[in-house]
Structure 1
Amino acid sequence: FETMGGKMIRGSILGQGDMDIWEILKTIKHSDFDGYISLEFEGMEPCEQGTEIGLAMARAILDKV
């Protein structure tokens, strides 16, 4: 993918990209939100592997924040 600034990027497993997932999940956890959280994976790894790693990371972060 190419950003508006011309930087080439690719998808990544949750927690391995540029976004501050710790802060995002902390904000969600400590808000009044009571719905589902959806994860999307578009990395280069096999889909099942990337999804399993990302889900495990999300659960681990949510347990710690």
Structure 2
Amino acid sequence: MLSDWELWACANQVMKAQGDKAAHYVAEQIGALALAGDQEGINTWQAIARRIAELSDQIGPMTRE
């Protein structure tokens, strides 16, 4: 499992790269990992998703630059 700092860094990077599509991107990742049976990967992406939600609540909607 990634450290808390690494999870925040991943969340930030996904938000920068995906903009307002970040939640959809995370859902796709979780879906692919579920099909592969990778529970640890699912847990990691769920942790990233929680951080993205928290960041989104703090800074509002983002658009991709």
TM bucket normalised to smaller? 0.3 to 0.5
TM-score by length of 1: 0.38
Which structure has the bigger radius of gyration? 1
TM-score by length of 2: 0.38
Structure with the larger RCO, 1 or 2 (CA within 8 Å, 6+ apart): 2
